[in-house]
Amino acid sequence: MRLDAIDRRILETLQKQGRLSNQELSERVGLSPSACHRRVQRLEEEGYIKGYVALLDPRKLGRTTVVFVEITLSGQADEVLDAFEKAVARVPEVLECHLMAGTADYLLKVVAEDVEDFARIHRRSLATIPGVTGIQSSFALRTVRQTTALPV
CB 55 within 8 A of CB 148: yes
Q: Is the dihedral of CA 75, 76, 81, 82 positive or negative?
A: negative
> Residue 27's domain spans which residues?
5-45
Q: How confident is the model at residue 21 (pLDDT cuts 50, 70, 90)?
A: very high
Parallel, antiparallel, or unpaired for β 65-73 and 94-99? unpaired
Residues 123 and 73 in one domain: yes
**Considering the chain, what percentage of its residues have pLDDT values greater than 70?**
100
Mean pLDDT score, 19-23 = 97
Number of domains in the chain: 2
Report the first-to-last Cα separation within the chain, whole angstroms: 14
34 and 70: one domain? Answer: no
Residue 116 lies in a domain: yes
Section 104-108 average pLDDT: 98
Angle between helices 22-29 and 33-45 (to 10 degrees): 100
pTM as predicted: 0.90
User: Residue 1: is its pLDDT beyond 90?
Assistant: no
Residue 60, in any domain of the structure: no
What is the H or E stretch that residue 38 is in?
helix 33-45
